[in-house]
Amino acid sequence: MQHSLAAAGDMAAQILSLPPLTLLGYAFAGLAASAAGYVVVYVPLRFLYRITLHPLAKVPGPRWMLISGYVSNVYWNATGDRQGTSLFWLKRWHEQYGPMVRTAEDVVHIDDIDAYNQIFKVGTKFPKTARFYNHPSTKHSLLDITDFHEAHLRRSALAPYFSKQAVRKLQDLIQAKVSRFLERLVDSGRSNTTVNLTRGFRCLACDIVTGYSYEQCFDALEDPDFSPTWLLAFESLVKSTAFQAVFPWFFAALGWFFQTFMSRGSIRAISPMMAQMLDFSDVCRDAVLRQKARWNAGETEMTSIFQQLFEGDEKKGRKRATDDELAADALLTVSAGMDTTGHTLTLASYYLVKNPDVQARLLAELKTVMPTPTFPVTEETLDQLPLLKSVQQAVIKETLRFSHGVPGPLPRDVPPTGATLSGHHLPAGTVTLNSHYIYHTNASVFTNPMKWAPDRWLVPDTREMDRYFMPFSRGARMCVGMNLAMAELTITVARMVRRVEVSFAEGFTDADMEWRSLFVAVQNGFLTVNIKERED
Ligand code: HEM
């Protein structure tokens, strides 16, 4: 032992006595040999293992995706024109390979409604995948929580404020914001100005959710072009999500560096968009912390969806939320509620203009409950339109099927017991992906699935389609804001169709409405329109 230690010491001394340039040469040669060894020996052997002895070896799929997670993901979904298009490839791969497709060493994508229901049922054992959800921009928020118990505690504190009854109590706020939005549209008609409806709807959804969540409406609807700077920052941030999903550590490190070492002024000089996004996060944070201070001062009459989180609940084992958690949930509710609802309203308007026959039938139906264009209709009245005949309800359902607010894929981990899905045994830790887009466009359930056709819902039996219809997801982690979203969609579509005529602006093309999946659906362009007020 002593002998070999002495020999190693001699060798180290000999190496250190070499001239520095020779040492550097050896170091480079060593690195190059390791890199070559990695590419020529390790990667091929690993690939061979992945397609032969790996527990998922029998799951079919394009084998080139298994060469390297980074190369396939970057090439596949994060760069160039392919960014956000993996869903469309996946649809083709399912046609080729069947209900389960292996897309990476430990990742499978599923197109099997029974498997979906097993993964997304209430009481599921499949948690959210931490490496996908632990994202710098949603850190500390509900969306980020992967532990079931912790998520349940947080959700149960928020959920009462989003129940159907709670949202009904909120109708005055929704109606007031929709009225303001329609006034802006009518004004644009009078002054012959083109409107960016995509952004208009985002502003509307933002004002409703901020007005409700923390009593501080952001007054986005007052921006002359529906383009407040933070909204533009938001749009840029969303576009970077594909890249962020592949290099989360890079964005986490960048965010930490910016926040820790740089003043907001310096960040603004390097990236005005990032500074605006941080400003916006601060506004959300300030709003919720101001409410918390009022609550702590005994002002318990206020309305805040965060009330239960201000206090904690010893009986349930829920701790008082930290300021970071409150700020993160404040930002989450705006971001989750703005883009998804805005996108659905945009597509509803687009398809109604493209399908004047459906719009005429909808208008006729609305006239039965809204005798004048400004008649104050309620959500209750609209919900009571006869289900089998209601064009309004069919339009909203079909647009939700087709708008894919969150198209997928949504990742969930196989629990420690392993699982058998679609005839394959999946070991613990396998990441399962499911995409609403794939279910919503299943050709054996939805005839002519790529056609927007509200009439498909006006048949006596919609049970099979309903089984495949999950715009708000299902189970323990389904959308918290579903009732709020449905109220916004129902009231806005009805009042807008009754009040104004919409036509496409010059320069608008169908290509503007094509979309890619960057967690939320992001369209290539904007819906720009001209407005005319209806006379009767
Ligand atoms: C048409 C509109 C909307 C659609 C299609 C939609 C869809 C969804 C979907 C599919 C999820 C699950 C995401 C996942 O598992 O990763 C989700 C989650 C969520 N949604 Fe919505 N959403 C909409 C509107 C809203 C609104 C208005 C709010 C308002 C607060 C909201 C708040 C949330 C929150 C907080 C979550 C996270 C729930 C959790 O992680 O447990 N959403 N939404």
Q: How many A from CA of 479 to the centre of ligand 1?
A: 4
**Averaged over 248-276, what is the pLDDT?**
80
Q: Is 284 annotated as a binding residue?
A: no
pLDDT tens digits, 138-188: 889 999 999 999 999 999 999 999 999 999 988 999 999 999 999 999 999
* pLDDT tier, 343 (very low <50, low <70, confident <90, very high otherwise): very high
**Averaged over 505-521, what is the pLDDT?**
92
Residues contacting residue 240 through CB under 8 Å, at least 6 positions apart: 251
**Ligand 1 mutation target, pool 150, 340, 396, 412, most atoms within 8 A of CB:** 340
* pLDDT tier, 243 (very low <50, low <70, confident <90, very high otherwise): low
Q: Which atom of ligand 1 is nearest to the CA of 332?
A: 35
Strands (E), 314-369: none
pLDDT-above-90 percentage for the chain? 65
Q: For the packed helices 197-214 and 171-190, what is the interaxial angle rounded to 10 degrees?
A: 150
Query: Of 177-181, 241-245, 470-474, which gets the smallest average pLDDT?
Result: 241-245
According to the model, what pLDDT value does residue 7 have?
Answer: 73
For residue 200, how many other CB atoms are within 10 A of its CB?
27
Phi, psi angles (nearest 5°) of residue 446: -110, 105
Quick check: CB of 410 below 6 Å from ligand 1?
yes
Instruction: Produce one character per residue of 129-157: b if its CB has 16 or more CB atoms within 10 Å, e if not.
Output: beebbebbbbebbbbbbbebeebbbbbeb
Quick check: CB of 522 below 6 Å from ligand 1?
no
* CA angle, 305 then 396 then 523, to 5°: 85
**Helix, strand, coil percentages, rounded to 5, for the chain:** 60, 10, 30
Q: How many A from CA of 242 to the centre of ligand 1?
A: 19
For residue 9, CA distances in Å to 1, 3, 12, 17 come to 12, 10, 5, 12
Q: Whose CA is nearest to atom 17 of ligand 1?
A: 479
Quick check: CB of 531 below 6 Å from ligand 1?
no
Q: Which atom of ligand 1 is nearest to the CA of 489?
A: 1
Quick check: CB of 332 below 6 Å from ligand 1?
yes
DSSP letter string, 154-220? HHHHHGGGGSHHHHHHTHHHHHHHHHHHHHHHHHHHHTT--EEHHHHHHHHHHHHHHHHHHS----G
Quick check: CB of 178 below 6 Å from ligand 1?
no
Q: pTM of the predicted model, to two decimals?
A: 0.91
* Dihedral sign computed on CA atoms, order 238, 240, 245, 248: negative
Quick check: CB of 143 below 6 Å from ligand 1?
yes
User: Which residues are bridge partners to 131 per DSSP?
Assistant: none
Quick check: CB of 155 below 6 Å from ligand 1?
yes
Rounded distance, CA 364 to CA 133, Å?
Answer: 45
* Dihedral sign computed on CA atoms, order 201, 205, 206, 207: positive
Decide if pLDDT at 4 tops 70: no
The size of the chain, in residues, is 536
H-helix segments, 370-481:
379-383, 391-403, 436-440, 463-467
Decide if pLDDT at 452 tops 70: yes
pLDDT tens digits, 310-339: 988 888 888 999 999 999 999 999 888 898
For residue 408, CA distances in Å to 132, 256, 438 come to 12, 28, 9
Phi, psi angles (nearest 5°) of residue 164: -60, -45
According to the model, what pLDDT value does residue 233 have?
Answer: 82
Q: ipTM more than 0.90?
A: yes
According to the model, what pLDDT value does residue 438 have?
Answer: 97
**Averaged over 116-126, what is the pLDDT?**
95
According to the model, what pLDDT value does residue 528 have?
Answer: 98
The per-residue pLDDT of the chain, averaged, comes to 90
Q: How many A from CA of 58 to the centre of ligand 1?
A: 35
Angular region, 195: left φ>0, alpha ψ -120 to 50, beta rest: beta
* pLDDT tier, 299 (very low <50, low <70, confident <90, very high otherwise): confident
Q: How many A from CA of 426 to the centre of ligand 1?
A: 28
